[in-house]
Structure 1
Amino acid sequence: MLMASGAQAQNSAQSNDKQAAQTSVDEQTAEEIIVTGSRIRGVAPIGSNLVSVGQETIEKTAPVNLSQLVNTVPSISTAGSISQAENAFSYYSPQIHSLAGSSSNTTLVIVDGLRLPGGGQQFNQTDPNIIPVSAIQRVEVLADGASTAYGSDAVAGVVNYITRRTFDGFEMNVQTGFGKSYRNTAASFIWGKTWGTGGVYIAGALSEQNILFNRDRPFTSLGDYRAFGGSNNLSFTCPNATITVQQQAGAPNSGIANQVFLGPNATTSVANIGANAPCNNSVYSVMVPGQGRGNVMVKVVNDFSDKLTMQFMVNYNRQRTHSPGAPGGISGLAYGNGATGGSTNRFP
């Protein structure tokens, strides 16, 4: 009986344990789950396509500006060619992936996590070259969609330029290149002073390149490329004016006695066909625009406590672009019936 009584007590204990476990499972199932979304960027997930260009790479490549620096990153499809990057009206900022039908508006360019104002007269693109390259510590390229955290202009990814926190000492770099009728010179510097809780530094850059026309090179100065399998780009619209003479059928052309207008009963000496076009307007085209840029940045950082840090940064940039267009051709109209004498349209 003692054994039977012990068995009954054991069965009772097991039954109580099962009921307690079932009650615990029911309580866990009934717990409420809350999912919260945030636009604040946190730690990048493991396996994200984050490409970083550090100080060592910057020193090896010795870029003149930030566009040349990011062009070393495979994820960047373009940061603007020389002619594009120095366009007076707009700037072609770095673009990730080169998405079909998209522009560089799909790639967000920031400095220390802060957005930059647009560059050029149209202010339609971000120009990172306003920051001196000597002030850059590293560049982080997130070649993945980040529109959740940054908005629709980060569909393709984000290019984040990280500036130096502090710098102690002085550093200067100068480089120049030249060719026939062309020269390019660039210089950058940084000076800084640090103390126990922070530091201050000033960085700047200066670059200058002269304009290069197509006429400065033998091949690009040609207007007729048919001998090389190309097309004939000569034109009848000449910078020194192309005047078209019109008259009634059968009426003599009285015109004005000069080399542009035809005299009575005169005919053209050159047939008005493309092969006989007299003007080579390609000599006025610009191959590389003239460009001058100067910028300076000052940064002050100080840690007042573990929870309070002051950071002050100011940047100034000035850019000049020289890219003249070809002189415009003039198309006028001479009219007259041969009896009253010809006159010219006053271009009303």
Structure 2
Amino acid sequence: MAINYKCSVGRLALCAASVAVMPAAAMAQADAPPPAQDQSAADQVTSEPIVVIGTLIRGIAPAGNNVIDMSAEQIAATGAATTSQVLSSIPQVGNFFNGLPAGVSQQPGANGSNPINRPNLRSLPGANTSGGAQTLVLFDGQRVVGAGIQQVAVDPDIIAPGVIQRVEAMTDGGSAVYGSDALGGVINFVSRDRFDGVQMDARYGIGDDFQSVEASGMAGKDWGSGGFYVAYGYSHHDSVFGADRDWVKQVDWNTGVPTGRNCARPT
């Protein structure tokens, strides 16, 4: 009986030793170092800059934000002497740039004494109101002060065309970001960073009882680490009254379309 008992104890010790060896082997296999990568394949991996462009509203996919862009070369090709003429080359700008009154109405007096050329994207109604047809005008992404004291419409001709580096027009509306005054769209003028030299532009037009003079100039100096430039624009257009024509017709200020009946010139 003593011999059989000793054999049983020896078998139990052998089994315990086998179980203890198995976890050690498993841990040694898990801690084995990964195989070395090919050096030639690692050398082929190059790092490139990643530019991320985001929107002002997080989580919103960019949709319906078509932007019309005019570069400085395209602006020069138009031959425009004023900023209004630059905008008139954009088909989505609906009004006809014929000097809309700057006040809140077309009544004679102070309201109609300061005509401005208001841009009107998509020919929305209300170009003769204080909102300027819900088209927001920005300069370098900043709002511009209105042309008068009774309304918020902006006269684009206060910006000399030589200063403009690029024109951006968003025609799908920007009220979600800028408010109700951008319901029709947003026009942003981007100015030049630097200019070196002198640039002059002028235009003269003549017609029956009508003369038009437009001129603009810019001069600047760039010395590498800094610079400055000065720009100036001037325009003058004679007024044409109904008495100067044989036939006159009333015009809708919003669309530029003649309305009503033809009228003979008063005697």
Pair 174,151 (structure 1): closer, same or farther in 2 beyond 3 Å: same
Instruction: Please say if 1:158 is aligned against 2:175.
Output: no
One-letter amino acid matched to 2:118: S
Deviation at 1:60, TM superposition (A): 1.6
Question: Corresponding residue for 1:205?
Answer: 233
1:214-251 C-alpha deviation (Å, 9 max, x unpaired): 23233349xxxxxxxx5667xxxxxxxxxxxxxxxxxx
Give distance in 1, aligned partners of 2:126 and 2:200: 42
One-letter amino acid matched to 1:209: H
Question: Normalising by the residue count of structure 2, what TM-score does the alignment of the two structures yield?
Answer: 0.61
1:248-300 C-alpha deviation (Å, 9 max, x unpaired): xxxxxxxxxxxxxxxxxxxxxxxxxxxxxxxx7x46xxxxxxxxxxxxxxxxx
Contact map agreement 1:173 1:189 (CA 8 A) in 2: yes
Give distance in 2, aligned partners of 1:179 and 1:101: 31
Question: Corresponding residue for 2:91?
Answer: 74
Identity within the alignment, %? 36
Give distance in 1, aligned partners of 2:115 and 2:206: 27
Question: Corresponding residue for 1:59?
Answer: 76
Question: Corresponding residue for 1:95?
Answer: 120
Pair 124,88 (structure 1): closer, same or farther in 2 beyond 3 Å: farther
Instruction: Please say if 1:132 is aligned against 2:136.
Output: no
Give distance in 2, aligned partners of 1:219 and 1:145: 39
List alignment gaps of at least 5 residues for structure 2: 1-21, 27-54, 104-111, 250-260
Deviation at 1:173, TM superposition (A): 0.8
Higher percent of residues as strand: 1
Question: Corresponding residue for 1:123?
Answer: 151
Contact map agreement 1:80 1:94 (CA 8 A) in 2: yes
Aligned residues: 195
Give distance in 2, aligned partners of 1:85 and 1:143: 23
Contact map agreement 1:136 1:161 (CA 8 A) in 2: yes
Question: Corresponding residue for 1:218?
Answer: 246
Correspondences of 1:319-330 after superposition (within 5 Å): none
One-letter amino acid matched to 2:215: A
Give distance in 1, aligned partners of 2:262 and 2:165: 49
Give distance in 2, aligned partners of 1:119 and 1:207: 16
List alignment gaps of at least 5 residues for structure 1: 1-8, 14-37, 222-229, 234-279, 284-348
Report the aligned-residue RMSD.
Answer: 3.6
Deviation at 1:40, TM superposition (A): 7.6
Give distance in 2, aligned partners of 1:218 and 1:101: 30
Pair 153,79 (structure 1): closer, same or farther in 2 beyond 3 Å: farther
1:57-78 C-alpha deviation (Å, 9 max, x unpaired): 2112122321221121122222
One-letter amino acid matched to 1:98: S
Question: Corresponding residue for 1:178?
Answer: 206
Give distance in 2, aligned partners of 1:212 and 1:220: 11
Contact map agreement 1:116 1:126 (CA 8 A) in 2: yes
Contact map agreement 2:247 2:263 (CA 8 A) in 1: no
Give distance in 1, aligned partners of 2:263 and 2:199: 52
